[in-house]
Structure 1
Amino acid sequence: MNTGLLLYIPYRHLENRVMTAIRAAGFDVTLAQARLLQRLNPGGSRLTELAEAAQVTKQTAGFLVDQLERAGYVRRVPDPTDGRARLIQATAKARAAAPIAEDEIARIEKEWEEHVGKRRMTQLREALGKLCEITDPYR
């Protein structure tokens, strides 16, 4: 099995568990919407930046933002640095889902650590962090 697949399978498992926890808590978001929400900058993001970070077209990002705005997860506000531009910001409703996701991630990482051992989990995190230095353009 190639390394990419070895990275993807555990990530997919984590993502599915997080989405299950978020939905169980009453947050009605799709996976595509959640992936977009994850990429919002704390102060807000322009649509073009958001589309690039989420690796979707501007049209797809706009469609997802429209859905999220109607559901109350984001709002569009004027960009203070450019009067013609708008920023997409997470609302309190969206921010309320973050602790649920973080708690589920902590549970998953604890399970993984119990399975592979603390030393290996530490080494895995260190190795992945090192790889991010050369693979993450948004770092």
Structure 2
Amino acid sequence: MPESATDELNVGVLMFIPYRAMEQRVFDALAAAGYADITVAQARLVQRLGPDGTRLTLLAEQAQVTKQTAGFLVDQLERAGYVERVPDPADGRARLVRLTERGEAVTALANRTVAAVEAEWREVLGERTMNQLRRALTKLREHTDPFR
């Protein structure tokens, strides 16, 4: 934390604060639409699901949680009807976790909310600055995200 009003917050905190605000807006929208049973931990796992599904071990690795934790979260999401486990066509012994119709509906709502927040940010920052921000963060992702 800054020691005085003239000290600056570090860049990580400056990125986290708007992310957390966006995340809260998404959860508020989900709750208002009747999806109040989704936790932050579950949502962060769902964010890592590929369009055709993802193996549990890869989900755990990408979410930086143990395989047991990922399995527990997937069990919860499966009971709530958001995901299902299906055979992996590339390996009959393996299973993929993929969204169900209910999971796709909640994801679509979350994505619409994110788009609305980004539109607000674009108004606040202006087109040019928002585009610069996106380019800068994309470049940082290339440097920091091994799962890009």
TM-score by length of structure 1 reads 0.94
Report the counterpart of residue 110 of structure 2 in structure 1: 101
After TM superposition, list the pairs within 5 Å mapping 1:110-125 onto structure 2.
Answer: 110-125=119-134
Tell me the C-alpha RMSD between the 2 structures.
1.1
**Higher helix proportion:** 1
Alignment pair present for 1:16 and 2:34: no
Stretches of structure 1 lacking an aligned partner (at least 5 in a row): none
Alignment: residue pair count: 139
Bigger Cα displacement from structure 2, 41-50 vs 105-114 = 105-114
Q: CA deviation at 1:18?
A: 0.6
Structure number with higher relative contact order (C-alpha < 8 Å, ≥ 6 residues apart):
1
After TM superposition, list the pairs within 5 Å mapping 1:1-139 onto structure 2.
Answer: 1-27=9-35, 28-139=37-148
Q: CA deviation at 1:25?
A: 1.0
Aligned with 2:54: secondary structure? coil
Letter in 2 for 1:129: T
When Rg is computed on C-alpha atoms for both structures, the one with the higher figure is 2
Aligned with 2:74: secondary structure? helix
Q: Could you tell me how far apart the structure 2 residues matched to 1:89 and 1:102 are?
A: 17
Q: CA deviation at 1:22?
A: 1.3
